Structure 1
């Protein structure tokens, strides 16, 4: 009877191992198909070896990040989805955020800020967390308007830069954030003065 239980145990272990291998193979196959058809007309061949390697996928994303950001993001998101605890998952998340930030238009800045926030949420203790928080501030700072016009972006930038100084006071980014804080405060003060002069003249 003991032998039967032992044999049954090993049989179940063998079945579990087979299922795990089958699951991994299916995941890799699906990944290959997603990357192949996910780019529309720009179909991309990817080997199972690349699909099963966080480093290889990340480097593939880096390769396309400037000439084809959309394709690059597809690879980089697969790093995050397939290897969420990997060092390259952190790098991939930052690379996606940076790719939006470089475009500088309003929509891309919103997406960049969202990606940087997700980075901090996913990797709160990462050495790159202060950089991500600083970049959130920069997405607003890049869009501030001169005094006399709407200062919403200035106020948002100010709030985000203050988080850098408060949450990461010893980071390299804290010094830059402090400079940006002073600039934002000067802009807001000048704006208030501008509005006051305007109403005084009226």
Structure 2
């Protein structure tokens, strides 16, 4: 009987303590904060590179003041914070959400630009490993998506302050895509797939006419046609090559053995 009374007494004590708040959930420190304070605190966290905390505060601001002047800006900052924290998927989702909700926003051009930057950074990571993996096992999806995003910005907002930088990045991306195609053409040539190498190089000629990669693409075509016994195509391509690149390093190397020629690509 005494044991039962002790249990009851302990239970009553716990309930009493709970009522006093000792076991209550942690208080929300942002309770009662104005939109201005939430936005200011979130910006400070963002500047301090505390991205997770910044995102929490921006989300709190958006949910507490959905129709206020800061709500849309908070949505943009959330996308930027995810981008800075290298969370590509969440950053892109936040960008797409903003563009869908606010297609006519005064600063929507920035979101198109940010979408390009997110994919551009992922593409840089792709290039860092381009020579460490089999070229045919990778799909430069991020490169194409970054180019498409920047292109959309340039076409929709030709007078945007972000457009000049987007154009510069597009040029870089074109060269990156052309370099990838050259790398694949080399792969085919090295493995004796000369027709595939020639066709891949021809694709570079058609798709990336102003790229520096054209020089090597032409040379791969010359070597591939030579291996295939297509002497007429080889000679025609050689004439075009010499006309456009009279001092090319490939001309001298092409006269040497294949083993020495490969050293250019190692």
Q: Which structure 1 segments of 5+ residues have no match?
A: 1-35
Alignment map for 1:34-53 (pairs within 5 Å): 44-48=28-32, 50=33, 53=34
Residue of structure 1 equivalent to 2:52: 70
User: Residues 187 and 69 (structure 1 numbering): CA distance in 2 closer, same or farther, change over 3 Å?
Assistant: closer
Residue of structure 2 equivalent to 1:120: 99
Residue of structure 1 equivalent to 2:80: 98
**Distance in 1 (alpha carbons) for counterparts of 2:170 and 2:59:** 33
**Residues 99 and 111 of structure 2 are in contact (CA less than 8 Å); yes or no, is this contact kept in structure 1?**
yes
The alignment status of 1:186 with 2:175, answered yes or no, reads yes
**Residues 110 and 139 of structure 1 are in contact (CA less than 8 Å); yes or no, is this contact kept in structure 2?**
no
**Distance in 2 (alpha carbons) for counterparts of 1:160 and 1:182:** 13
Residue of structure 1 equivalent to 2:38: 57
- 1:57-92 Cα distance to aligned partner (Å, 9 max, x none): 212322333364333322211322233333311221
- Higher RCO, Cα 8 Å, sep 6+: 1
The alignment status of 1:134 with 2:113, answered yes or no, reads yes
Quote the RMSD (CA, aligned, Å). 2.3
Three-state SS of the structure 1 residue aligned to 2:162 is helix
The alignment status of 1:157 with 2:157, answered yes or no, reads no
TM-score (norm 2): 0.53
Three-state SS of the structure 1 residue aligned to 2:122 is coil
Residue of structure 1 equivalent to 2:184: 195
- 1:107-141 Cα distance to aligned partner (Å, 9 max, x none): x1111111112122222222321111111111111
TM-score (norm 1): 0.69
**Distance in 2 (alpha carbons) for counterparts of 1:47 and 1:83:** 13
**Distance in 2 (alpha carbons) for counterparts of 1:92 and 1:152:** 29
Number of residues paired by the alignment?
157
**How far did 1:47 drift?**
4.5
1:168 maps to which of 154, 157, 170: 157
**How far did 1:56 drift?**
2.2
Highest Rg: 1 or 2?
2
**How far did 1:153 drift?**
1.1
